[in-house]
Amino acid sequence: MSTFSRRDAMRLMLAGGAAAAVLGGTELEAAARINSVVRGVQLGAQSYSFRDLPHDQIIDQYRTVGLGEAELWQGTVEPQHLSGAALRKWRLTVPLSHYHRLREKFDRGGVLIYAYNFSFRKDMTDDEMKRGFDAARALGVNKMTASSNVSLAKRIDQWAQQYKITVGFHGHDQTQDPDEFSTEATFERALKGNSHYLGINLDIGHYVAANGDPVAFLKKWHDRIVTIHVKDRKKNHGSNEPFGQGDTPIVQVLQLVRDRGWKFPANIEYEYGRPGLDTITEMKRSVAYCRKALES
């Protein structure tokens, strides 16, 4: 489950041959495929990392920090000014060509959309859930990630089987709520009795904040991993920190993925933003940290 498909590879090859592309209104001549595979590990970014920057320039942001793989956050592609019923209406009525055009821009820009991050929650209707899968299919992906509820697993699995799209559940550190993904037990409850189309999007920083061991988790569950999120947090529900300043074993995790030959992406998720910090500068630092870990 945790491997790049032949279609993924073909799309990257096609992207590498693009002569020009209009990316968020900026013309890029001879847009080349961005190779951010380091020692066999695909480095990428959750597009949530660029949440404070203009979303119509998202591809330029990936190119600037040197990452060629994207886990596309729904907030990047949905209207930022809508919420609640208005956002639900938009999701149900926007033409799927909206997603087609976005995928084509990423392809021409040399950035692979590997997964669509669409979070299924208990207040969603079946039509809204279905529309999330429609959007993923329109984006040309067969993988999704989701901050969701444990109790929704069987309901999501029915759609995942119908669409043949794997959904990786994303955890936080909300250990006080048994219906939120956080500990190994919550992931295990969701996967038990459901199909192989359900998987895990392990956020190693949040997992450490929930006092889990991501190295041990990955050794046990690597065949159910869709992608990992790379960030640094302190234990005991601690703060997000610049890479290398928290308690998350980022180096050990990346080297484990490298040494075991696992092919799921390692997606940086920039979340320690503070006043005075520049997102692009901090993302470049995070990329450099990960590259050094993999090249050591």
The 10s digit of each residue's pLDDT in 116-140 is 999 999 999 999 999 999 999 999 9
**Residues 74, 98: contact at Cβ < 8 Å?**
no
Q: What is the pLDDT of residue 144?
A: 98
Q: What is the pLDDT of residue 32?
A: 82
- Model confidence at 114, pLDDT cuts 50, 70, 90, reads very high
Token pair, residue 243, equals: 């890479």
Asked, for residue 85, whether it belongs to a domain, the answer is yes
Q: What is the pLDDT of residue 8?
A: 52
Helix (H) or strand (E) holding 81: none
The domain that holds 195 is classified in CATH as 3.20.20.150
Amino acid at 189: R
**What pTM does this model have?**
0.90
Does the pLDDT at position 79 exceed 80?
A: yes
Query: What would the mean pLDDT of 239-267 be, rounded to a whole number?
Result: 98
Asked, for residue 259, whether it belongs to a domain, the answer is yes
Asked, for residue 1, whether it belongs to a domain, the answer is no
Domain coverage including residue 12:
6-295
Asked, for residue 166, whether it belongs to a domain, the answer is yes
Does the pLDDT at position 19 exceed 50?
A: no
Phi first, then psi: what are they for 289, rounded to 5°?
-60, -45
The total domain count for the chain is: 1
Quick one: 50 exposed, middle or buried, by C-beta within 10 A (0-12, 13-18, 19+)? Answer: buried
- Residue 205 has a CB neighbour count (10 Å cut-off) of 29
Percentage of the chain beyond pLDDT 70 is 90
Asked, for residue 287, whether it belongs to a domain, the answer is yes
